[in-house]
Structure 1
Amino acid sequence: MSMAVVGMIAGLALGFAGYFGGFGAFLLVAALGAVGFVVGRFLDGDLDPGEFFRPRDRDREGRRR
């Protein structure tokens, strides 16, 4: 399935949620879609969990580099 079709389906879902459920439902569908996207990237192997939980580089005084 192409990314254009996936984007169209996501847009339709957000449109229906906004029309029938209001702005709160629109935000809920958008947030769950984003979570599903990240989980899907993890399962495909495109993202590594360490990218989110790796400590940042700091010098001896605790300042970021």
Structure 2
Amino acid sequence: MSMALAGMIAGMALGFAGYFGGFAAFLLVAALGAIGFVLGRFADGDLELGDFFRAREREDNRRR
């Protein structure tokens, strides 16, 4: 499935949730979709748990 098709489906789901369930349902669907996306990336092996807890390098340290 292409990313454009996945984005269209997600947008339609959020639109239906917002229209029929109101703003709270819109936020719930968006939050659950984000959680599902992250869990899917973990399952595919694209993300590791350390990616969220690793300290970022400062930009001035990278130039040295």
TM-score when scaled to structure 1? 0.80
Secondary structure at the aligned position of 2:48 is classed as coil
Gaps of 5+ in 1: 58-64
Structure 1 stretch displaced more, 19-28 or 42-51: 42-51
Gaps of 5+ in 2: none
Structure 1 stretch displaced more, 31-40 or 44-53: 44-53
Q: Percent of aligned pairs with the same residue?
A: 77
Superposed CA RMSD in Å reads 1.5
**Does residue 26 of structure 2 align to residue 23 of structure 1?**
no
Cα separation, 1, equivalents of 2:48 and 2:30 = 23
TM-score when scaled to structure 2? 0.81
Match of 2:14 in 1: 14
Match of 2:51 in 1: 51
Query: Which has the larger Rg?
Result: 1
